[in-house]
Amino acid sequence: MPACSARSASLRWARQLALAGALAAAPAVAEVTAGEMLGSGCTGCHGPDGISVGAAIPSIAGLDKIYLARVMVQFKNGERPSTIMGRIASGYEDSELRTMAKHFGSLPWSAWRTPSDETAIDMGRQIHDRICAECHEREGQHQDRDTPRIAGQAPEYLFTSLLQYRDPQSDMKLPQPSKMLDALKPLTDEQLLALSHYYASRP
Protein backbone atom coordinates (compact mmCIF):
# COMPACT_ATOMS: atom_id res chain seq x y z
CA MET A 1 0.00 0.00 0.00
CA PRO A 2 1.40 3.44 -0.90
CA ALA A 3 2.44 5.60 2.04
CA CYS A 4 -0.23 8.24 1.32
CA SER A 5 -2.97 5.61 1.20
CA ALA A 6 -1.81 4.08 4.48
CA ARG A 7 -1.73 7.51 6.08
CA SER A 8 -5.28 8.26 4.85
CA ALA A 9 -6.53 4.94 6.20
CA SER A 10 -4.92 5.68 9.56
CA LEU A 11 -6.57 9.10 9.71
CA ARG A 12 -9.99 7.62 8.85
CA TRP A 13 -9.52 5.00 11.59
CA ALA A 14 -8.54 7.68 14.12
CA ARG A 15 -11.61 9.77 13.23
CA GLN A 16 -13.86 6.74 13.57
CA LEU A 17 -12.43 5.99 17.02
CA ALA A 18 -12.90 9.60 18.10
CA LEU A 19 -16.50 9.59 16.86
CA ALA A 20 -17.23 6.32 18.66
CA GLY A 21 -15.81 7.77 21.87
CA ALA A 22 -17.89 10.92 21.53
CA LEU A 23 -21.06 8.90 20.95
CA ALA A 24 -20.32 6.72 23.97
CA ALA A 25 -19.83 9.80 26.15
CA ALA A 26 -22.95 11.61 24.87
CA PRO A 27 -25.45 10.11 27.37
CA ALA A 28 -23.24 11.11 30.33
CA VAL A 29 -22.81 14.64 28.96
CA ALA A 30 -26.55 14.94 28.37
CA GLU A 31 -27.26 13.76 31.92
CA VAL A 32 -24.91 16.34 33.43
CA THR A 33 -26.47 19.04 31.27
CA ALA A 34 -29.94 18.00 32.43
CA GLY A 35 -28.79 18.15 36.04
CA GLU A 36 -27.33 21.60 35.56
CA MET A 37 -30.51 22.81 33.88
CA LEU A 38 -32.83 21.37 36.51
CA GLY A 39 -30.59 22.55 39.34
CA SER A 40 -30.30 26.11 38.06
CA GLY A 41 -33.34 27.07 40.14
CA CYS A 42 -31.56 25.93 43.30
CA THR A 43 -28.68 28.37 43.06
CA GLY A 44 -30.75 31.35 44.19
CA CYS A 45 -30.80 29.91 47.71
CA HIS A 46 -27.99 27.35 47.77
CA GLY A 47 -25.50 29.52 45.93
CA PRO A 48 -23.62 29.19 42.65
CA ASP A 49 -22.69 25.55 42.02
CA GLY A 50 -24.47 24.57 45.23
CA ILE A 51 -22.03 26.42 47.51
CA SER A 52 -24.13 28.47 49.90
CA VAL A 53 -23.37 32.11 50.61
CA GLY A 54 -26.12 32.37 53.23
CA ALA A 55 -25.39 31.33 56.79
CA ALA A 56 -28.84 29.81 57.30
CA ILE A 57 -28.83 27.67 54.15
CA PRO A 58 -26.70 24.54 53.66
CA SER A 59 -24.24 23.93 50.87
CA ILE A 60 -25.28 20.97 48.76
CA ALA A 61 -22.31 20.69 46.39
CA GLY A 62 -20.38 17.50 47.05
CA LEU A 63 -23.00 15.83 49.23
CA ASP A 64 -23.64 12.13 48.75
CA LYS A 65 -25.97 11.87 45.75
CA ILE A 66 -28.11 9.08 47.21
CA TYR A 67 -28.56 10.89 50.52
CA LEU A 68 -29.34 14.16 48.73
CA ALA A 69 -31.90 12.53 46.43
CA ARG A 70 -33.65 10.87 49.36
CA VAL A 71 -33.81 14.17 51.27
CA MET A 72 -35.35 15.97 48.29
CA VAL A 73 -37.95 13.23 47.82
CA GLN A 74 -38.75 13.47 51.55
CA PHE A 75 -39.29 17.21 51.16
CA LYS A 76 -41.57 16.55 48.21
CA ASN A 77 -43.64 13.96 50.10
CA GLY A 78 -43.91 16.06 53.28
CA GLU A 79 -41.80 13.56 55.20
CA ARG A 80 -39.21 16.18 56.17
CA PRO A 81 -40.07 19.59 57.67
CA SER A 82 -39.30 22.68 55.60
CA THR A 83 -40.30 26.27 55.03
CA ILE A 84 -40.08 26.32 51.24
CA MET A 85 -38.28 23.16 50.08
CA GLY A 86 -41.45 21.06 50.18
CA ARG A 87 -43.23 23.41 47.79
CA ILE A 88 -40.23 23.58 45.46
CA ALA A 89 -39.58 19.83 45.41
CA SER A 90 -43.24 19.07 44.71
CA GLY A 91 -42.81 20.63 41.26
CA TYR A 92 -40.39 17.90 40.15
CA GLU A 93 -40.64 14.22 39.32
CA ASP A 94 -38.64 11.87 41.54
CA SER A 95 -36.38 11.08 38.57
CA GLU A 96 -35.66 14.79 38.12
CA LEU A 97 -34.76 15.15 41.79
CA ARG A 98 -32.34 12.23 41.43
CA THR A 99 -30.79 13.87 38.37
CA MET A 100 -30.27 17.10 40.32
CA ALA A 101 -28.82 15.18 43.25
CA LYS A 102 -26.35 13.44 40.95
CA HIS A 103 -25.33 16.80 39.50
CA PHE A 104 -24.78 18.54 42.83
CA GLY A 105 -23.13 15.45 44.28
CA SER A 106 -20.55 15.53 41.49
CA LEU A 107 -19.48 19.10 42.31
CA PRO A 108 -16.51 19.82 44.59
CA TRP A 109 -17.13 20.50 48.27
CA SER A 110 -16.27 23.95 49.65
CA ALA A 111 -16.24 24.47 53.41
CA TRP A 112 -17.83 27.49 55.06
CA ARG A 113 -15.32 30.06 56.27
CA THR A 114 -16.17 31.37 59.72
CA PRO A 115 -14.26 33.31 62.40
CA SER A 116 -12.79 30.96 64.96
CA ASP A 117 -14.18 30.84 68.49
CA GLU A 118 -11.57 28.59 70.02
CA THR A 119 -13.42 28.19 73.33
CA ALA A 120 -16.61 27.06 71.60
CA ILE A 121 -14.68 24.85 69.17
CA ASP A 122 -12.89 23.09 72.03
CA MET A 123 -16.17 22.50 73.88
CA GLY A 124 -17.77 21.22 70.67
CA ARG A 125 -14.86 18.87 70.03
CA GLN A 126 -15.34 17.26 73.44
CA ILE A 127 -19.08 16.81 72.82
CA HIS A 128 -18.39 15.34 69.38
CA ASP A 129 -15.88 12.87 70.80
CA ARG A 130 -18.29 11.83 73.53
CA ILE A 131 -21.60 11.40 71.70
CA CYS A 132 -21.32 12.10 67.95
CA ALA A 133 -18.12 10.53 66.64
CA GLU A 134 -19.55 7.04 66.29
CA CYS A 135 -21.88 8.10 63.45
CA HIS A 136 -20.34 11.39 62.26
CA GLU A 137 -16.85 10.05 61.71
CA ARG A 138 -13.73 11.99 60.71
CA GLU A 139 -14.82 15.10 62.59
CA GLY A 140 -18.09 15.23 60.68
CA GLN A 141 -16.47 14.89 57.25
CA HIS A 142 -17.71 11.33 56.71
CA GLN A 143 -20.79 10.90 54.57
CA ASP A 144 -22.72 8.09 52.94
CA ARG A 145 -26.26 7.42 51.80
CA ASP A 146 -27.51 7.58 55.40
CA THR A 147 -25.23 10.14 57.05
CA PRO A 148 -24.77 13.67 55.71
CA ARG A 149 -21.51 15.56 55.77
CA ILE A 150 -21.82 18.23 58.46
CA ALA A 151 -18.21 19.43 58.69
CA GLY A 152 -17.79 22.76 56.94
CA GLN A 153 -21.44 23.83 56.96
CA ALA A 154 -22.29 27.28 58.37
CA PRO A 155 -22.66 27.35 62.18
CA GLU A 156 -26.02 29.17 62.00
CA TYR A 157 -27.49 26.44 59.82
CA LEU A 158 -26.05 23.69 62.01
CA PHE A 159 -27.32 25.29 65.22
CA THR A 160 -30.86 25.72 63.85
CA SER A 161 -30.88 22.11 62.65
CA LEU A 162 -29.67 20.79 65.99
CA LEU A 163 -32.36 22.76 67.80
CA GLN A 164 -35.02 21.24 65.53
CA TYR A 165 -33.69 17.75 66.16
CA ARG A 166 -33.45 18.24 69.91
CA ASP A 167 -36.86 19.95 70.28
CA PRO A 168 -39.06 18.65 67.46
CA GLN A 169 -42.52 20.18 67.16
CA SER A 170 -45.40 17.77 67.48
CA ASP A 171 -46.37 18.26 63.83
CA MET A 172 -42.83 17.85 62.52
CA LYS A 173 -41.65 14.59 61.00
CA LEU A 174 -37.95 14.10 61.59
CA PRO A 175 -36.51 11.17 59.64
CA GLN A 176 -33.42 10.74 61.78
CA PRO A 177 -32.55 7.84 64.10
CA SER A 178 -33.94 7.90 67.62
CA LYS A 179 -30.31 7.52 68.69
CA MET A 180 -29.70 11.10 67.57
CA LEU A 181 -32.70 12.40 69.48
CA ASP A 182 -31.52 10.60 72.61
CA ALA A 183 -28.01 12.02 72.21
CA LEU A 184 -29.13 15.64 71.74
CA LYS A 185 -31.89 15.78 74.33
CA PRO A 186 -29.60 16.38 77.35
CA LEU A 187 -27.58 19.13 75.62
CA THR A 188 -28.10 22.81 76.41
CA ASP A 189 -28.35 25.56 73.80
CA GLU A 190 -24.79 26.57 74.66
CA GLN A 191 -23.54 23.05 74.01
CA LEU A 192 -25.41 22.83 70.70
CA LEU A 193 -23.91 26.16 69.66
CA ALA A 194 -20.44 24.91 70.57
CA LEU A 195 -21.02 21.74 68.55
CA SER A 196 -22.09 23.90 65.61
CA HIS A 197 -18.92 26.01 65.81
CA TYR A 198 -16.79 22.88 66.00
CA TYR A 199 -18.26 21.30 62.86
CA ALA A 200 -18.22 24.64 61.01
CA SER A 201 -14.50 24.93 61.73
CA ARG A 202 -13.71 21.60 60.08
CA PRO A 203 -12.65 21.66 56.38
pLDDT in tens, 151-184: 999 999 999 999 988 988 766 666 666 788 889 9
In the chain, which stretches have pLDDT less than 50?
1-26, 28-32
Q: Please count the structural domains in the chain.
A: 2
Residues 12, 100 within the same domain:
yes
pLDDT for res 25: 46
Residue 192's closest CA among 137, 128, 146? 128
Crossing angle of helices 3-39 and 94-105, rounded to 10°: 110
Distance between CA atoms of residues 112 and 51, nearest Å: 9
Q: How far is CA 51 from CA 24, 57, 133, 140, 153, in A?
A: 31, 10, 25, 18, 10
Q: Is position 184 within any domain?
A: yes
| pLDDT value, residue 160 | 93
Determine the pLDDT at residue 174: 64
pLDDT of residue 22: 42
Specify the pLDDT at position 72.
96
Question: pLDDT value at position 114?
Answer: 73
Whether 29 and 53 map to the same domain: the answer is: yes
* pLDDT value at residue 196: 96
> Are 90 and 134 members of one domain?
no
Say yes or no: 169 and 85 in one domain.
no
Query: Which of 105, 138, 164 lies at the terminal end of a domain, its last residue?
Result: 105
**Is 110 within a domain?**
no
Which of 73, 105, 137 represents a domain boundary (last residue)?
A: 105
> Residues 85, 147: one domain?
no
pLDDT value at position 177? 67
| Beta carbons within 10 angstroms of residue 60's beta carbon | 26
The answer as to whether 149 is a domain residue is: yes
pLDDT of 6? 45
Range of the domain at 8: 3-105
Shared-domain flag, residues 37 and 124: no
Q: What is the model's pLDDT at position 7?
A: 44
Return all residues near 108 (Cβ < 8 A) that are at least 6 apart. 61, 62
Do residues 134 and 116 touch, judged by C-beta distance below 8 A?
no
Q: Any idea what the CATH number is for the domain that residue 50 is in? A: 1.10.760.10
